[in-house]
Amino acid sequence: MAHTQEYRENIHGVLFDLDGTLADTAPDLVCALNLSLAESGHPQCHLHEVKHAATHGSLALVQTALPNEPLEIQQAIQQQLLQHYHRINGDNSELFEHLAELLDYLDEKHIPYGIVTNKHARFARPLINKLSLTGRMKAIISGDSTLHPKPHAAPMLLAAQQLHVEPNNILYLGDAERDLVAAQNANMIGGAAHWGYLSDTDQPHNWPAQLHFKSSQCLLRYFVNEAK
């Protein structure tokens, strides 16, 4: 594996996964989950019990909360969850610590950045707008922007086109294995975000990532310190 300095010199654009990488969205997702569980007569969950599933989408949240229910029940509760989430999306979500500073640094250095998420546009774009990022992102690719979502290369390559940066000069940051597989499929530099919604069974060092960041502060230092 090449030295991290070599990767840094090759990075001319940055792409982020949204949930669990750029933004802490679990509070809103779990709130919507609990509203749905209450309506269906099920006990509610604590944030720490199901947060790790937030990176895998709404059905994964329901299945984590109700693993023994049949799929049709899980899917019905998922639809309730999405209705509630549409209403509260972004109310209690925020950028992870140090990432606002990182985005400011990227702006200062004229390094374009964007988002590639499997979240559908009807949820992703209002959330990005509430985070005051819409005008700053050079690419916003949702789960329904292309025929195939991550880990397929299609959304990654579309984002690269919008950044006007070659894929092999883009760092893609994600907190799930599929994120790093997507980066690999698109010939991007993969960065594993260990501060995200990893579960106890996740093994990020086995993911196809060139770079590993234990914290968002480590990511910030990677850029700022290398520039000094």
- Catalytic sites, residue numbers: 17, 19
CA–CA distance, 78 with 99 (Å, rounded to integer): 30
How many angstroms separate the Cα of 126 from the Cα of each of 25, 26, 71? 13, 16, 29
Question: Which residues lie closer than 8 Å to 216 by C-beta, 6 or more apart?
Answer: 96, 97, 98, 99, 102, 193, 195
70 cis-preceded (ω within 30 degrees of 0): no
From 163, 198, 200, select the one nearest 180 (Cα to Cα).
198
Q: What angle do CA 154, 17, 156 make, to 5 degrees?
A: 15
How many helices (DSSP H) and strands (DSSP E) are in the chain? 10, 8
Burial class (CB in 10 A: 0-12, 13-18, 19+), 90: middle
